[in-house]
Amino acid sequence: MRLALLCFCVSLTLSRECCKRVAKKKAPYFEEDYMKITANRNQKVTLSCKSFGWQPITYIWRRDINGTFIKLDVTGEQLSLTQVHNLSEKEDLFTCSAINIYGSELKYFKVIYCGLIDNVH
């Protein structure tokens, strides 16, 4: 519905200010709320939490460690992963919260690591 209003506003060629008001006076929202990413060992991965809505938008990143989401010391809409933190894990789960004065929205990320060698006992 939100995108439909924005497209309707643009299609009528109303002023840009009108379109900005329609798009911005909203809680944050994402075009996609879930992403699955496959990465090779030692590959740099950047997760993007680009959201739309009323500005300013604050972003909070969390990583799932053993079923508990731990807040990361990262601000902004991107999170760069430069290495696999725990080589025994084959995947990591992350969330990004986008928050403004109208509300909040969550985006989920699943990063699957390829090229990890299982320990043979």
User: What per-residue confidence (pLDDT) applies to 100?
Assistant: 97
Q: What does the alpha-carbon distance between residue 34 and residue 83 come to, in Å, rounded to a whole number?
A: 22
Q: Say what the pLDDT of residue 88 is.
A: 57
Question: What does the longest C-alpha to C-alpha distance in the chain come to?
Answer: 68
The predicted pLDDT at position 13 comes to 47
- The structural domains of the chain, ordered by start, are 34-114 (2.60.40.10)
Reported as a single tens digit per residue, the pLDDT across 62-102 is: 999 888 999 999 989 999 987 655 555 688 999 999 999 99
> What is the sign, positive or negative, of the torsion defined by CA atoms of 66, 68, 74, 77?
positive
| Reported pTM | 0.71
Contact between 28 and 57 (Cβ < 8 Å): yes
Residue (of 13, 95, 18) closest to 51 by Cα position:
95
How far apart CA 66 and CA 85 sit, in angstroms, is 13
Indicate the average pLDDT of the chain: 79
Q: What is the pLDDT of residue 83?
A: 60
**Residues shown for the chain:** 121
Average the pLDDT over each of 9-18, 30-39, 61-70, 100-109 and give the range with the smallest value: 9-18
Parallel, antiparallel or unpaired: strands 103-114 and 91-100: antiparallel
